[in-house]
């Protein structure tokens, strides 16, 4: 599948090298490297961030740690079975008879977006880093033919947009979801490595303040921001309420749109 890429490729994703899955033909890796305008090598170097591309799978690899975007992985199914998704659902306002449309302005690895789609919401997710965008498109395309019916159904409710969310206008009635990067605290080695990969790919200086200002200017009645449990609130407004889990919290901003001037 050819992914349409945003016209703003000045991201540090140039530090990524595309390599083929060991033992497989390099053809697809070469084609993806050309598409993403990245260098292609024969094999991954452990100090470098690599996008490993095969005929049927792809992942990011750094220092031997692999991270893939797979919506029907055992981890995602475990998260679903254990009811770990409920807090996010409650934060965006999912109810038995209410499945809001979501604009996920920080697509990333698409996990939260998939959870929301699996809860029945139509989700538009936007990502500006070309490598992540490509992985998301791949994952969505595989999810649409998954052997799990709920995964196929959720994939059918997801749409991906390329580029900066701040260039998008969000339809009134949607909920905006933000999960900006936040400096990592001490965590398991694999999680730290995943955070490092994201930081290598994204603009770490952008702590989300500009996104917040953009979100607040949209004609939406609910904005949900994911934060580490003890992190300060994003933006200059007090949340209407917060929902806290073990490691993260969701700050929920609810407002009556007719009663305020936007901008």
Binding stretches for ligand SAM (CB under 6 A): 105-112, 126-129, 132, 164-166, 179-181, 198, 202, 206, 211
- Structure-token match 């538009």, residue found: 124
Residue 35, token pair as written in the block:
């598409």
Nearer to ligand SAM, 198 or 234 (CB): 198
Structure tokens at 109: 């690895």
CB of 260 to ligand SAM, least distance (A): 23
**Residue closer to ligand SAM, measured from CB, 21 or 113:** 113
Work out how close the CB of 114 gets to ligand SAM at its nearest, in angstroms, rounded to a whole number. 8
Closest by CA to 251, choosing from 236, 103, 261, is 236
Whole-angstrom Cα distance, residue 116 to residue 14? 31
| Nearest distance in Å: CB 137, ligand SAM | 14
**Residue 76: closest CA among 35, 117, 38:** 117
Q: Which residue is nearest to ligand SAM (CB)?
A: 108
Q: What is the DSSP letter of 236?
A: S
Beta carbon nearer to ligand SAM, 40 or 123: 123
Q: At its nearest, how many Å lie between ligand SAM and the CB of residue 19?
A: 21
Q: Are 2 and 23 in contact (CB under 8 A)?
A: no
Complete DSSP assignment for 174-200: -EEEE-------S--HHHHHHHHHHHH
Nearer to ligand SAM, 248 or 254 (CB): 248
Residue 106 Cβ, how far from ligand SAM at the closest point, in Å? Answer: 3
Whether 108 contacts 179, CB under 8 Å: yes
Compare residues 127 and 221 and give the one whose CB is closer to ligand SAM: 127
């Amino acid at each position: 599948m050819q992914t349409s890429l945003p016209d703003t490729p000045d991201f540090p994703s140039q530090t990524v090298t595309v390599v083929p899955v060991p033992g497989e033909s390099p053809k697809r890796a070469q084609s993806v490297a050309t598409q993403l305008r990245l260098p292609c090598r024969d094999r991954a170097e452990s100090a470098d961030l690599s996008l490993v591309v095969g005929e049927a799978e792809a992942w990011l690899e750094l220092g031997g740690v692999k991270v893939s975007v797979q919506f029907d992985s055992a981890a995602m199914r475990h998260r679903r079975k254990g009811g770990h998704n409920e807090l996010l659902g409650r934060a965006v306002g999912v109810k038995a008879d209410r499945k809001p449309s979501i604009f996920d302005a920080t697509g990333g690895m698409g996990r939260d977006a998939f959870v929301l789609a699996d809860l029945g919401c139509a989700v538009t997710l936007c990502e500006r880093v070309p490598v992540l965008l490509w992985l998301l498109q791949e994952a969505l395309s595989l999810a649409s033919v998954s052997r799990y019916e709920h995964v196929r159904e959720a994939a059918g409710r997801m749409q991906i947009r390329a580029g900066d969310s701040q260039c998008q206008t969000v339809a009134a009635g949607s909920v905006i979801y933000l999960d900006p990067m936040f400096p990592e605290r001490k965590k398991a080695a694999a999680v730290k490595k995943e955070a490092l990969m994201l930081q290598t790919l994204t603009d770490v200086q952008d702590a989300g303040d500009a996104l917040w200002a953009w979100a607040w200017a949209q004609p939406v009645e609910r904005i949900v921001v994911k934060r580490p449990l003890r992190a300060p609130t994003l933006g200059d407004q007090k949340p209407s309420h917060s929902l806290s889990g073990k490691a993260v919290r969701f700050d929920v901003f609810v407002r009556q749109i007719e009663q305020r001037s936007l901008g």
